[in-house]
A and B are shown apart, each in its own frame.
Chain A
Amino acid sequence: MKSTPSLLYLWPYLKRYRGKLLAGSCMVVLTVAAGMLAPWVLKYVVDDLRAAFAPEKLPYYAAAIVGIALVEGFFRFLMRRILIGMSREIEYDLRNDFFAHLQRMSLSYLQGRSTGDLMSRSSSDLAAVRSVLGPGLMYSMNAAVTAVAATAILLRLNWKLTLLAYIPLVLASIAVKQLGGRIHDRFEEIQAQFARLTEKVQENIAGIRVIQAFAREEAEIRSFHALNQEYVRRNIRLIRLWGIFYPLMSALIGLSSVALLWYGGRAVVRGTLTLGEFVAFLGYLSLLTWPTIAIGWVINIFQRGSASMERMLEVLRVPPQIGDDTAPEMPESVRGAVEVRALSFRYDRSPRPVLQDVSFSLPAGETLAIVGRTGSGKSTLVNLIPRLFDPPPGTVFVDGVDVRRWPLGELRRRIGFVPQEAFLFSDTVFANLAFGLHEGAPAETVERAAETAHLAAEIAAFPRRYQTLVGERGITLSGGQKQRAAIARALALEPQILILDDSFSSVDTYTEERVLRNLLEATRGRTTILVSHRISTVKHARQILVLENGRVVERGDHASLMALGGVYADLYRKQLLEEELATA
C-alpha cells in the first residue's frame, strides 16, 4: 500500500471514537474466540461416538453448539453494530466538515471547479473512505485474529499437519495478492476504455446535428463499433484472469482439505491424532477460508480508500481564501458610503485585467449607476464590494474602512445584493425571500419587500401563497418572477447598501419602470448601486459611470452624457432602435 499516508488524515476522527474502536476490537476478539469453540465441541462428539460412550451426553453437546452460536452471534451483532456504526458516524463528521470547508471557499475557487467533481468527492469518494473505516477495519481485524487463533490451535494439535495444510492456503493468499494486482491493472484498462466509450457516446449525442447534417451516421457507428471491439478484447483479457480467480481459490482451499485427509488420516490410523481432532481440524480449516480470501479484498478496500482520501484532501488542503482580517475594524457608524480608489483587478486564472484604474465615490444615501456592454467589467466591480472576490488592499472602502478589514459577516449583512442570475433555492417562496433574515423574522418585512419588488400580487395567486414550493418539486417561476424574488430577498434585509447587478434583464421594460420607481422610493436614504446594460434603467441616477474594457470612459448624469455624444449616447440611440424593432 503505497499511498497509505493520506489515510492518516482520519486519525483524529478515529481518536474521537476511540471508545467505540476499543469496544469494537474487543468484540472482534470475543466473536472469534467463541467461534473457535465450535469445532472443539465436534471433536468431543466424534471421539465420544467413536468410543461408543453412552448417548446421554449428546443433548448437552447439541445445546453447547447452539449456546456457542448464541454467544458468538451476540458478540458478532455488537461487533457489526459498533464498528460499522462508528464508520457511519465518522462519515457523518467527515461530510459535515467537508461541507463546512466548501462553505469557506471563495467563489473563484468554486467557480473554477465543476459542481459534479466536488459532488463526487463528497459522495463516492467519501463512500470509499467510509469502507476503509467500516468493513475494511472490521474484516481485517476479524481475519487477522481468526488466522492467529486458528493457527495457534492447529499448531498445538499437530504442527506437521498444520504446516502441510497451510501450504495451499499460503499459496492462495499469494495468488490473491498476485492475481489481484494484475486483475486490478486489467480492470483499470477496461475502465479507461469504458471512459472512451462513454466519451464517444457523449460526443456523438452532443454533435448529433453535425453528424446528421453531414450524413456521417455510418462512420460514427463504425468507429463506435471499433471502440466496442477493443472494450470486449480488454474485458476478455480480464475474464481470462478473473475467471480463474474463484475456481483457483476453491481448488487451493480444497487442496488443504486433501492434505488433511491424506496426512491427517494417516495420523489417525497411527494414533497420533484422534478422529475427533481430525474433524476439529476440518472445522478450523473451514474457518480459515474467509481470512485467506479476505486479505486481497481488504487490501483492495484500503487502496481505493486511500486514493479517494487523497482526492478529498486535494479539496480539504486548500486554505479558505476569504475570511476575517486578523485585526478586523469597523467604522464608528455605518451609513453606507462607498468609495473605490484606483482599483485594478485581475482574476486568478486570467491573463488580462478585468478592471483598470477605476475610481468613484458614492456618498451615503445616494444612487450610482454603472452601464457598459457585456464583458465591460460591471459585474466584477460590484462583486468586489461584498468581497465575493477579494479586491487588492486599499482600493474598496465602505464608510471609510477597507472592505478587507471589515468583519466579513458585518459587511455582508449591510449589503443587499441582487445578482445577475436570480438563484432561488428549492424551498418555499417565504423561505427564499426571508433567506437573509434570522429565523422568526416578522412576515411583514418579507411581505413589504415583495410588495416593493412588485411580486406580492403574483404570490397571492400561487396555490399556497408564501408557502408555495419553488423549483423542481414546486412551481416554476418565470425568469422575471425569479429576478423580482431576488430583489425582494435583498430588500427584506433592509440593507444600508443595495446593489442591483443587471437585475432586470428578464423583466419587461414596463414592469421594470414600475419596480424601479417603487424601489427608489422605498430605499430613499439608502445607498444604491444600479448596474445595467439598459439606459432606461439608469438614466435617472445622479451619477452614471460608463465602463468599457474595464475602464471608466465616461461619467456624469444622463443629460451631460448625452451631450457628450460618446459611448453612452451611442448605447442610448441603439437601445431606442431596439425598442422600436421589438414593437415593429
Chain B
Amino acid sequence: MTAEPQDDQIAGKAYDARLMRRLLSYIRPHRRAAALALLYIMAGSGLSVLPPLLTKTAIDRFISRGDLSGLNRIALLYVLTLVAVFWFSYGQAWVLNVMGQKIMVELRMSIFRHLQRLEIAFFDRNPVGRLMTRVTTDVDALNELFTAGVISVVGDVCTLAGIVVVLFLINVKLALAIFSVVPLLFLITFVFKLKVRDSFRRVRTAVARINAFLQENLTGSAVVQLFHQEEKQYRRFVAVNREHLEANLQSIFYYAVFYPLLELVGALAVALIVWYGGLQVFAGTLTLGALVAFIQYSERFFRPISDLSEKYNILQQAMASAERIFKLLDTRPAIASPARPRRAGVREGSVEFRNVSFAYTPGTPVLQDISFAVEPGERVALVGATGAGKSTVIALLSRFYDVVSGQILVDGIDIRDYDLQGLRRSIGVVLQDVFLFSGTVADNIRLGNEAITDEAMRGAIEAAQAWPFIRRLDRQLDTPVGERGSTLSAGQRQLLAFARALAHDPRILVLDEATSSIDTETEIMIRQALARLLEGRTAIMIAHRLSTIQRADRIIVLHHGRIRETGTHQELLHARGIYWKLYQLQYQDQLPAPPAPAPLHGSAS
C-alpha cells in the first residue's frame, strides 16, 4: 500500500481558513441567493427584537393612560411585525435550504465524478463503506454547515446586537447591570463544555467497545458456543456495558447541573432588573413598561448565546468532513488518458506483451518478464493454477493497473498512449463474476450506451443465446435484475454478459471464464454463444472449460508469474510438462461431455 488510505480519523479543527475559503468557493456561484438569505435573516432577526418594545409602548403609552384606540393600533402593529418576521424567516429558510441542496448536489457530483476517474488500485485500498461515507455522511455534515451553521450564526449575532442596541437605548445603566451576568454565563458554558467533552469521549469509547465486542461475538458465535463460554462472554459484555452506563450517568450529571445553572443566571438577571430597575421606576427614570420589556429581553438574550456554542460542534464536524472530502478530491488518478493520445481506439486488434513485470505490492512480483504476441483475430488461452497471474494479465490489458516495467502494445502502440476510454471501449471484458447493476435486463446490456439500438441489442441477445431465458422472464427485457431484482442463475448471468459484450462490439475480447458448474443445456448454449462472440475478434481467454481451450489457436501456460509453456493443446500434451498436469487436474474430467462444435476458423486441437 503505497498511497495513504483515506483517513477516517481526521479530528478536525473548528476553523481552518484554507478549508473555509475552499468551502466558500462553493457558495460563490450562489452568491445572489446567499446575499438574499443574509438580507432576510438580518431583517427577520432585526424585526424579532420588536415585540417586547411594542409591549413597553402599549403599557406606558396606552394601557396606563387608558388609550384604547392606541392599544388597537399597537396590536395591529404587533400582528404586522409577526407577519413580517414570519415572512422573512420563511424566506430565509427557503432560500438557504434550496441553496444548500444545490451545493450538496454539486459536491456529491464532483466526488462521484472524481471516483469514476480513479484507478482500480485506489478501490483496492479503500473499502466501499469508507468511500460511501464521503458521498453521503460527509456531504450531509457540510449541508448542516451551510444551512444551520454559517448563516444562522449571523442571525444569532443580529438578534443579540439588536437586543443590545434596544436595551442601551432604553436605559444604559440597567443594560450594563444585566450584561454584568454575561461573563458568568460564558464561564458556566466553558466549564460545562470542558467537563462534558471528557465524558463524551468516555461515552464514545464505551460505545466503540460495545460495538466491537458485539461484532466480534456475533462473528465468532460458533467459537463461543463450541467452547461453552457464553457465561464468561456475557460477564465481559456486562462489564463493557456497565462502563457505558457509568459514562452516560456522568454526562447526565453535568447536563443536570448545566441547565438549571443557566436558568439561575437568567433569574439573576431578572432579579437585577426587578431590584435595580424597580428603584429606577420608583425614582421615575424608568417606565414600568420598560421594566417589563427588560424582563422579556433577558429571556430572549440567553437563548442565542447558548445556541452559538452549539454551532461550534457543527462547525467542527463540518470542517473534519470537508477535510476528508477535499482529500479525496485531491487524490490524483494514477491512471489517466495522456494529454494528447496517439490513438482514440483500437483498429486491427493485435496485442503484444513485451517484457511485462507487475506487482500489486512492491517486492511481491505477480508477473515477471512476460512476453507474448497475439495477431488480430487470433485466440489465445491462458491457463495456469490459481495465483499464476492469469487475471492480472487481463487486468493490465485494460489498464486497470499500469505495468511496473515493460510495455503492452495494441496495434503496435503502447496502451498508455491511447485515449483511455477509447482503449477500454475497444476491449470487451467478460469477467468470472458477472456484475449486474440494479436496473432492467436491457439496462444491463446497454450499460447506458444509447448508441446501441434496439435491433442491435436484440441481435446481440439472439447471438448470445440469451433470448430463450429472457423471454421466460415475467417482463422480459424490462425485468429488473441486480441486487433487488429477480435472481438469475450463474449460467444465465454468463449469457447476459456475452450479450453485453456482443452489443458493445469490441475489437478485442477478454474472457475470464466462470468456473461454476452449469447444467448441460446451458453449457451447450454457452458454447454456441462463445463461438459467436469470438467471430472476427482477437481473444484472450482464461479458460476453465476444455471446450474453450480446444477453441484456442494457442495456449499460454502461466506458472508463478512466468510463461512456462506455449503451444497448441496437442503439442503441450506431448511435452508432458505443466500443462499436462493441469490438463489431468482440471480438464480431463470434462471429456465425456458432448464434443465442442467445430471452430469457425483457425485450427485448434
Inter-chain CA distance A229–B109, complex, in Å, is: 11
Q: For the complex of A and B, list the 6 residue pairs with the smallest distance between their C-beta atoms, beginning with the closest.
A: A219-B448, A73-B260, A69-B267, A243-B93, A436-B227, A80-B256
Check A81–B256 contact: CB distance below 8 A: yes
Check B225–A68 contact: CB distance below 8 A: no
What per-residue 1/0 map shows which CB atoms of A565-582 lie under 8 Å from chain B? 000000000100110111
Minimum C-beta distance from B449 to chain A (A): 7
Contact of B72 among A68, A217, A262 (CB under 8 A): A262
Q: Is A553 an interface residue (CB 8 A)?
A: no
Check A58–B275 contact: CB distance below 8 A: yes
Check B123–A205 contact: CB distance below 8 A: yes
Q: Is A269 an interface residue (CB 8 A)?
A: yes
Q: Is A213 an interface residue (CB 8 A)?
A: yes
Residues in B whose Cβ lies below 8 Å from that of A254 = 51, 78, 81-82, 85
Residues in B whose Cβ lies below 8 Å from that of A184 = none
Q: Is A525 an interface residue (CB 8 A)?
A: no
Q: Is A223 an interface residue (CB 8 A)?
A: yes
Inter-chain CA distance A425–B227, complex, in Å, is: 13
Which residues between 235 and 259 of chain A lie within 8 Å of chain B, taking CB atoms?
Answer: 235-236, 239-240, 242-244, 246-248, 250-251, 254-255, 257-258
Contact of B78 among A203, A215, A258, A413 (CB under 8 A): A258
Contact of A45 among B58, B112, B223, B274 (CB under 8 A): B274
Can you list 23 residue pairs at the A/B interface with Cβ under 8 Å?
A52-B282, A58-B274, A76-B256, A88-B248, A89-B245, A96-B234, A96-B241, A199-B438, A206-B435, A212-B400, A214-B500, A215-B421, A219-B448, A246-B89, A247-B89, A250-B86, A254-B51, A254-B81, A261-B74, A261-B75, A412-B226, A435-B223, A581-B559
Check B221–A412 contact: CB distance below 8 A: no
Residues in B whose Cβ lies below 8 Å from that of A70 = 264
Minimum C-beta distance from A16 to chain B (A): 15
Inter-chain CA distance A535–B578, complex, in Å, is: 22
Taking A100-B234, A239-B94, A261-B74 as contacts, is the C-beta distance between A221 and B222 under 8 angstroms?
no
Minimum C-beta distance from B514 to chain A (A): 15
Taking A215-B425, A262-B71 as contacts, is the C-beta distance between A55 and B109 under 8 angstroms?
no
Taking A55-B278, A254-B82 as contacts, is the C-beta distance between A240 and B94 under 8 angstroms?
yes
Inter-chain CA distance A243–B72, complex, in Å, is: 31
Check A412–B228 contact: CB distance below 8 A: yes
Q: Is A457 an interface residue (CB 8 A)?
A: no
Which residues from chain A sit less than 8 Å from chain B, CB to CB? 38, 42, 45-46, 49-50, 52, 55, 58-59, 61-63, 65-66, 68-70, 72-74, 76-78, 80-81, 84-85, 88-89, 91-92, 95-96, 99-100, 102-105, 107, 110, 115, 118-119, 122-123, 194, 197-199, 201-225, 228-229, 231-232, 235-236, 239-240, 242-244, 246-248, 250-251, 254-255, 257-258, 261-262, 265-266, 268-269, 275, 278-279, 282, 286, 386, 388, 408-409, 412-413, 415, 417, 419, 423, 425-426, 435-436, 439, 489, 493, 574, 577-578, 580-582, 584
Residues in A whose Cβ lies below 8 Å from that of B400 = 209, 212-213
Check A275–B63 contact: CB distance below 8 A: yes
Which chain B residue lies CB-closest to A268?
A: B63
Residues in A whose Cβ lies below 8 Å from that of B229 = 435-436
Check A118–B222 contact: CB distance below 8 A: no
Check B75–A65 contact: CB distance below 8 A: no
Inter-chain CA distance A294–B400, complex, in Å, is: 56
Minimum C-beta distance from A131 to chain B (A): 13
Contact of A257 among B78, B97, B267, B559 (CB under 8 A): B78
Check B257–A77 contact: CB distance below 8 A: yes
Residues in B whose Cβ lies below 8 Å from that of A208 = 115-116, 120, 123
What per-residue 1/0 map shows which CB atoms of B350-385 lie under 8 Å from chain A? 000000000000000000000000000000000001
Check B226–A386 contact: CB distance below 8 A: yes
Check A119–B211 contact: CB distance below 8 A: yes
Which chain A residue lies CB-closest to B434?
A: A210
Residues in B whose Cβ lies below 8 Å from that of A250 = 48, 82, 85-86, 89
Inter-chain CA distance A211–B424, complex, in Å, is: 10
Which chain A residue lies CB-closest to B218?
A: A115
Residues in A whose Cβ lies below 8 Å from that of B223 = 419, 423, 435
Q: Is B596 an interface residue (CB 8 A)?
A: no
Check A205–B115 contact: CB distance below 8 A: yes
Residues in B whose Cβ lies below 8 Å from that of A217 = 116-117, 421
Inter-chain CA distance A50–B291, complex, in Å, is: 12
Residues in A whose Cβ lies below 8 Å from that of B72 = 262
Check B214–A119 contact: CB distance below 8 A: yes
Check A581–B582 contact: CB distance below 8 A: yes
Check B282–A77 contact: CB distance below 8 A: no
Residues in A whose Cβ lies below 8 Å from that of B132 = 198, 201-202, 205
Which chain B residue lies CB-closest to A413?
A: B228
List 11 other contacts, CB 8 Å, given A52-B282, A103-B233, A386-B226. A78-B256, A95-B210, A205-B128, A209-B400, A209-B429, A210-B431, A214-B425, A265-B75, A266-B71, A275-B288, A436-B228
Q: Is B176 an interface residue (CB 8 A)?
A: no
Residues in B whose Cβ lies below 8 Å from that of A52 = 282
Interface of B is mostly: helix
Inter-chain CA distance A78–B257, complex, in Å, is: 9
Check B86–A248 contact: CB distance below 8 A: yes
Residues in B whose Cβ lies below 8 Å from that of A435 = 223, 227, 229
Which residues between 493 and 511 of chain B lie within 8 Å of chain A, taking CB atoms?
Answer: 500, 504
Check B241–A84 contact: CB distance below 8 A: no
Check B424–A73 contact: CB distance below 8 A: no
Check B221–A209 contact: CB distance below 8 A: no
Residues in A whose Cβ lies below 8 Å from that of B266 = 69
Minimum C-beta distance from A477 to chain B (A): 15
Contact of A84 among B74, B94, B252, B292 (CB under 8 A): B252
Which chain B residue lies CB-closest to A582?
A: B385
Q: Is B334 an interface residue (CB 8 A)?
A: no
Residues in A whose Cβ lies below 8 Å from that of B225 = 107, 386, 388, 412
Inter-chain CA distance A80–B261, complex, in Å, is: 13
Check B263–A72 contact: CB distance below 8 A: yes
Check A103–B230 contact: CB distance below 8 A: yes
Residues in A whose Cβ lies below 8 Å from that of B578 = 581, 584
* Stretch from B98-106, B156-164, B183-191, B406-414 contacting the other chain: B98-106
Check A95–B101 contact: CB distance below 8 A: no
Check B94–A243 contact: CB distance below 8 A: yes
Which chain A residue lies CB-closest to B89?
A: A247
Which residues between 235 and 283 of chain B lie within 8 Å of chain A, taking CB atoms?
Answer: 237-238, 241-242, 244-245, 248-249, 252-253, 255-257, 259-261, 263-264, 266-268, 270-272, 274-275, 278-279, 281-282
Q: Is B68 an interface residue (CB 8 A)?
A: yes
Residues in A whose Cβ lies below 8 Å from that of B93 = 239, 242-243, 246-247
Residues in B whose Cβ lies below 8 Å from that of A574 = 584-585
Which chain B residue lies CB-closest to A199?
A: B438
Minimum C-beta distance from B576 to chain A (A): 12
What per-residue 1/0 map shows which CB atoms of B189-224 lie under 8 Å from chain A? 000000000000000000100111011111111111
Inter-chain CA distance A110–B221, complex, in Å, is: 8
Residues in B whose Cβ lies below 8 Å from that of A426 = 212, 216
Minimum C-beta distance from B191 to chain A (A): 16
Taking A69-B267, A110-B221, A286-B299 as contacts, is the C-beta distance between A205 and B275 under 8 angstroms?
no
Check B296–A282 contact: CB distance below 8 A: yes
Check A209–B120 contact: CB distance below 8 A: yes
Minimum C-beta distance from A492 to chain B (A): 10
Residues in A whose Cβ lies below 8 Å from that of B427 = 213
Which chain A residue lies CB-closest to B108?
A: A228
Taking A58-B279, A77-B256, A107-B221 as contacts, is the C-beta distance between A50 and B82 under 8 angstroms?
no
Residues in B whose Cβ lies below 8 Å from that of A417 = 226-227
Q: Is B447 an interface residue (CB 8 A)?
A: yes
Check B424–A258 contact: CB distance below 8 A: no
Contact of B116 among A46, A59, A220 (CB under 8 A): A220
Inter-chain CA distance A103–B230, complex, in Å, is: 6
Residues in B whose Cβ lies below 8 Å from that of A100 = 234
Q: Is B83 an interface residue (CB 8 A)?
A: yes
Residues in B whose Cβ lies below 8 Å from that of A231 = 105
Check A66–B249 contact: CB distance below 8 A: no
